[in-house]
Amino acid sequence: MASYRVTFFKHLVSSDGHPFNCPQRTIDIRSAKDSDRAIKAAQLRYGRLGHCYDWRIRADEFRLETIGDMSDRRPGVQGG
């Protein structure tokens, strides 16, 4: 199982008219079978933390990073 980091962004426009993506929240999913499940879990958690039923109410997009693979680790061995 892999670990993932999902960052949610809102599209905004700066005071001088330039568009930019403003990070809203980052959610770490410690273990998921695949990236699709990690995304779904992060979307649900983001909605719950933001007190809304749909993450798209508060964010416009997300980015996914793989931050580790639990299958590479042996029990009792720390590091990574």
Residue 79 lies in a domain: no
Q: pLDDT value at position 74?
A: 45
Q: pLDDT value at position 75?
A: 45
Q: pLDDT value at position 78?
A: 41
Cα within 13 Å of Cα(19), Cβ side: 4
What is this structure's pTM? 0.79
Residue 77 lies in a domain: no
Q: pLDDT value at position 70?
A: 56
Exposure class string for 23-43: b at 16+ Cβ within 10 A, else e: ebbebebeebeeeeebbebbb
Q: What is the total count of domains within the chain?
A: 1
Residue 48 lies in a domain: yes
Residue 15 lies in a domain: yes
Q: pLDDT value at position 79?
A: 42
Domain of residue 22, residue span: 2-70
Cα within 13 Å of Cα(15), Cβ side: 0
Residue 29 lies in a domain: yes
Q: pLDDT value at position 37?
A: 96
pLDDT mean for each 10 residues of the chain (80 residues): 95 95 96 95 93 91 87 45
